[in-house]
Amino acid sequence: MEDHRLYMQRCLDLAAQGTGNVAPNPMVGSVVVWNGKIIGEGFHRRYGGPHAEAEAIRSVRNPSLLKNSTLYVNLEPCAHHGKTPPCADLIVARHIPRVVIGTPDIHPVVAGKGLEKLTKGGCRVETGVLEEACRDLNKRFFTFHERKRPFVILKWAQSADGFIDTERHPGDQTPPVWITGEFERRLVHKWRAEEAAIMVGTHTALKDNPRLNVRHWDGPQPVRMVLDRTASLPRRLHLFDGSQDTWVFTEKPSRREGRTEWIQLSFDGTLLNQIMNLLYQRNILSLFVEGGAILLRSFLQKGCWDEARVFTGHQLFQKGVRAPAPPGESASSTLFEKSRLEWYVNTSPGA
């Protein structure tokens, strides 16, 4: 069993290399072991590309060893034709006698079918190795399919006395006060690259004129999202520079200009549910919410969040925009030179 955990951990390490590049697919890694030695390994590198099992099998230099090997993979092999052929069929065709799986897949077209194909094909199948870690790696994927909504991450920075911003008004040209340091700002850009979409509210768009892109890290750009009930945000804002896909949620009629799309929704008590349903329909696995306070509180009050990442700086604002109350007890804390990061996990997420 100790060896099982060792090889499965290697699968997880490989799978993590696909972060930000494989959604809406899950992150998957695989290794092929013969006589106590890893002879092949691979991971799902990009959406639409070869799956981890196919990559691992292809990397084995001496294919004759496969018939006496064990294949490890952190997620149940697929059994359907999608953008690639079924991995379960490939494993059976290569006469691999033993397959060790971290966790079953819950996607309707896969769930249980991969296990069934492997078993009927003569493979000895074992499951549940490092299952919790395997589910945690693909928490976005599992949340999306179990809750029918994206995995929601809230992020904000607050002063030492609990303010998210000083007293500023849209259009007064007062720049924001940086609460965190350069290292933390680079970390936030890394986080952006890991998520499918990023969202702000109207006031944040007006006061901060954010780009909401990944420029201090190497990674894909998320879909930018902003609330604009009256569709009155000025076109001079960075959000409308056409550099990446941008969705504007509004009460005005839907339309599209280049990479910017205005999407009509009802701005009533169901707005958040409407957005979650839309993102689910459009295969957006994860959403990174960067504030401001009104938008953050709406997610917190509905219980519609999975993680909250809160930076607290050393400054005292004394007055301004109050930050949301801490959502419970932090799961972890990290100290930086100019701030402290508290990481919260919602143990009973809502809608």
Closest residue by Cα to residue 153 from 318, 340, 325, 291: 291
Tell me whether the omega of the peptide bond preceding residue 24 falls within 30 degrees of 0, making it cis. yes
Closest residue by Cα to residue 42 from 108, 81, 90: 90
Copy the structure tokens of residue 211. 């780009």
The answer to whether the CB of 32 falls within 8 A of the CB of 26 is no
Q: Name residue, tokens 């809608």.
A: 351
Show the beta-strand stretches assigned E in the chain.
Answer: 29-34, 37-43, 70-75, 98-103, 124-127, 151-158, 163-165, 197-200, 223-227, 246-250, 255-257, 260-264, 286-289, 307-313, 321-322, 332-335, 339-345
DSSP one-letter string for 169-230: -TTS-PPPPP-S-HHHHHHHHHHHHHSSEEEE-HHHHHHH----S--SSSSPPPEEEEE-TT
Closest residue by Cα to residue 100 from 74, 76, 126: 126
User: 3-class DSSP state for residue 321?
Assistant: strand
Q: CA 101 → CA 83, 116, 190, distances in Å? A: 22, 13, 29
What's the rounded Cα separation, in Å, for the pair 114 and 92?
A: 11
**CB within 8 A of 231, min separation 6: which ones?**
248, 250, 251, 252, 262
What's the rounded Cα separation, in Å, for the pair 289 and 299?
A: 9
What's the rounded Cα separation, in Å, for the pair 324 and 300?
A: 8
What's the rounded Cα separation, in Å, for the pair 288 and 275?
A: 13
Which residues are known catalytic residues? 53
